[in-house]
Structure 1
Amino acid sequence: MASDAVVQVQGRRLKLTNLDKVLYPEVGFTKAEVLDYYTRIAPVLLPHVAGRPMTLRRYPNGVDGKSFFEKNAPSHAPEWVRTVRVGTPGSSRGAEYADFVVVEDLATLVWLANLAALELHVPQWSVGARGARHSPDLVVFDLDPGEPATVVECCRVACRVREVLEADGLSPVVKTSGSKGLQVYAAVSVSSPERTSEYARGVAQRLAGESPDEVVWRMAKAQRTGKVLIDWSQNNPAKTTVAPYSLRARARPSVSTPVTWEEVESCREVEDLVFLADEVRERVGSVGDLFGVGKAVRLSR
């Protein structure tokens, strides 16, 4: 295979470079395979990131090399790539705003993949056609296991989160993080941007109170050994979570994969909920997109 190529994607001319570079050394997964994955998975990925300012995690020398998060669109971005300026108060770099990429078409997704943007992270809110910032439309519970706990323990906690949300009239869906844990989402509408964090914190505190030997809601690592952290703080409008169907920078090209509640309930081993790029493409071909968040439910005070 040639190392470089010029292609047309939806009428956009793109130069793809270093196609034979290995980005996942343990399994020999190349940049060409990353590009192929994102191209094939785009029909189900794009609807979940549309309108959402994207934070990239780039690995120009593969998952074993140095990486960096990138909020601002690169200065060499093509003029047709949509960007939106969003205020970033409290930025660690002191920046008042950032010009985020908004990924809404295949050409932009391929362009990012060519930059070795392996991981795609988005907030729980979106922007309008003119860049106006909307209130959060998703609430997320990021379940993070503290060793020796694993995704198996996360599954038990996820089922309890599901029970609480369904009792409140929500319709939760679940996906793997592609790393160690699980993430439970539900579509919501809110009167203020802070409401999702307030709600998620309340659920986390309740479940930690009911099962203190299994669940924690505070971030202190000293309290998390062998337990599952319900990270409600991911609902902070300044934070992001990995997008559905995004690759992760693990030893193997694992994917943040939507799963069924039946799969969560039946999980007995870590590998039961580890899905690699090739498996996810086949999976979507047979079962479609499992991440339909449904109709938004109002979170009342």
Structure 2
Amino acid sequence: MTPITEVEGRRVALSNLEKVLYPETGFTKAELLHYYATTATALLPHLRDRAVSFLRYPDGPGGQRFFTKNVPPGTPEWVTTAEVPRSSPDSPARMVLVQDLPSLVWAANLVAEFHTHQWLVQRPEEADRLVFDLDPGPPAHIVHCCEVALWLRERLAADGIEAYPKTAGSKGLHLLAAVRGSSSERTSEYAKALAVEAERALPRLVVHRMTKSLRPGKVFVDWSQNAARKTTATPYTVRARPAPLVSAPVTWQEVADCRSPAQLEFRADDIAPRLADHGDLMAPLLNPESATALP
């Protein structure tokens, strides 16, 4: 019988709580749900009012993985949903919004990574985030991403834009900044221009094109996630990796001091102590006053 729990007055069905999702560490589905419930104060503001794509892995990272963008069958009626534009304005999609703790617990029970757009559902025509995904091509790794991130930080600062780093939760880094007054197209153009500039400044280290033959030993500065249809892993989401790694906000000092990949590898049980020590390092992104117009 599927257990039912009450979360802030909502009845949420939970399933397979003893299932081991991460055999490498013995991390169970119950522990995953506990992680999301106890991280909700930091996580929810980064999900709120953003349509969520779920990368689901119900049998753990070693099992089947698939993206769910439309509202999943069986979604409770009290979970907020919204129509969002697709490539064709005549065929909008209806997607989930994770607005509160009950919907977060319900979504966590699906066993999924959370991915969100760089715009709010109220204003899909206006990007409010700028994002760079720094993806290392072996033998390059996150230490090389840190070098690129520091260059991008200074370049963005020259345009009055403050960037905030987080681990990808896999092998690279993400940089996010709050922007205003631009379309996704304009934000993508700006991000591409900086990626090209980074390649010129750091030719031994950076590539701005996705072509696989160009990427070994270099950091791909992926600017394309600024496109309106693209999504990026949300801060604090657990990733479908062999261990329960988290896309964790980090300090710039941690980026500058990184000398080995293990220094910027954070698991689910590392996040509560980090929040106690640092608070939400990406909280400034949530303040409209921190948003900067692109040059």
Shorter-chain TM band: over 0.9
Q: Do structure 1's residue 124 and structure 2's residue 118 form an aligned pair?
A: yes
Distance (whole Å) between structure 2 residues aligned to residue 252 and residue 75 of structure 1: 29
Q: 1:115 maps to what in 2?
A: 110
Distance (whole Å) between structure 2 residues aligned to residue 61 and residue 234 of structure 1: 28
Q: Do structure 1's residue 235 and structure 2's residue 230 form an aligned pair?
A: no
Distance (whole Å) between structure 2 residues aligned to residue 192 and residue 55 of structure 1: 21
Q: 1:57 maps to what in 2?
A: 55
Kept in 1, the 8 Å contact 2:55–2:65? The answer is yes
Query: Structure 2 counterpart of 1:198, which letter?
Result: E
Q: 2:241 maps to what in 1?
A: 250
Q: 1:160 maps to what in 2?
A: 151
Residue by residue over 1:181-238, the C-alpha shift from the partner in whole angstroms, topping out at 9 and shown as x without a partner, is 0011111113433111011001000110112111010110100110001000010010
Distance (whole Å) between structure 2 residues aligned to residue 179 and residue 191 of structure 1: 30
Q: 2:21 maps to what in 1?
A: 23
Q: 1:194 maps to what in 2?
A: 185
Superposed CA RMSD in Å reads: 1.5
Kept in 2, the 8 Å contact 1:144–1:231? The answer is yes
Distance (whole Å) between structure 1 residues aligned to residue 2 and residue 29 of structure 2: 11
The 3 A distance-change label for structure 1 pair 4 and 286 is: farther
Q: Do structure 1's residue 105 and structure 2's residue 103 form an aligned pair?
A: no
Deviation, structure 1 residue 87: 2.4
**Structure 1 stretches (4+) deviating beyond 6 angstroms?**
none
Distance (whole Å) between structure 1 residues aligned to residue 124 and residue 139 of structure 2: 40
Kept in 1, the 8 Å contact 2:169–2:246? The answer is yes
The 3 A distance-change label for structure 1 pair 221 and 90 is: farther
Query: Structure 1 counterpart of 2:109, which letter?
Result: N
The 3 A distance-change label for structure 1 pair 90 and 149 is: farther
Query: Structure 1 counterpart of 2:232, which letter?
Result: T
Q: 1:272 maps to what in 2?
A: 263
**Aligned-partner SS, 1:194:** helix
Distance (whole Å) between structure 2 residues aligned to residue 159 and residue 169 of structure 1: 15
Distance (whole Å) between structure 1 residues aligned to residue 274 and residue 19 of structure 2: 26
Kept in 2, the 8 Å contact 1:9–1:106? The answer is yes
Query: Structure 1 counterpart of 2:277, which letter?
Result: S
Q: 2:44 maps to what in 1?
A: 46
Q: TM-score, normalised by structure 2?
A: 0.95
Decide which of 124, 128, 142 is 1:137's aligned counterpart: 128
Decide which of 261, 275, 281 is 1:284's aligned counterpart: 275
Query: Structure 2 counterpart of 1:213, which letter?
Result: R
**Aligned-partner SS, 2:280:** coil
**Aligned-partner SS, 2:135:** strand
**Aligned-partner SS, 1:190:** strand
Q: Which moved more, 1:267-276 or 1:22-31?
A: 22-31
Deviation, structure 1 residue 134: 4.5
Distance (whole Å) between structure 2 residues aligned to residue 88 and residue 133 of structure 1: 10
Q: TM-score, normalised by structure 1?
A: 0.94
Kept in 2, the 8 Å contact 1:127–1:134? The answer is no
Kept in 2, the 8 Å contact 1:51–1:126? The answer is yes
Count of residues in Structure 1 that have an aligned counterpart in Structure 2: 291
Using the aligned pairs only, state the percent identity: 50
Unaligned 5+ runs, structure 2: none
Distance (whole Å) between structure 1 residues aligned to residue 20 and residue 114 of structure 2: 19
Q: Do structure 1's residue 259 and structure 2's residue 250 form an aligned pair?
A: yes
Q: 1:299 maps to what in 2?
A: 294
Residue by residue over 1:4-46, the C-alpha shift from the partner in whole angstroms, topping out at 9 and shown as x without a partner, is 4221101001121110011111111111000000000000001
Unaligned 5+ runs, structure 1: none
Kept in 2, the 8 Å contact 1:4–1:19? The answer is no
Distance (whole Å) between structure 2 residues aligned to residue 87 and residue 297 of structure 1: 25
Q: 2:3 maps to what in 1?
A: 5
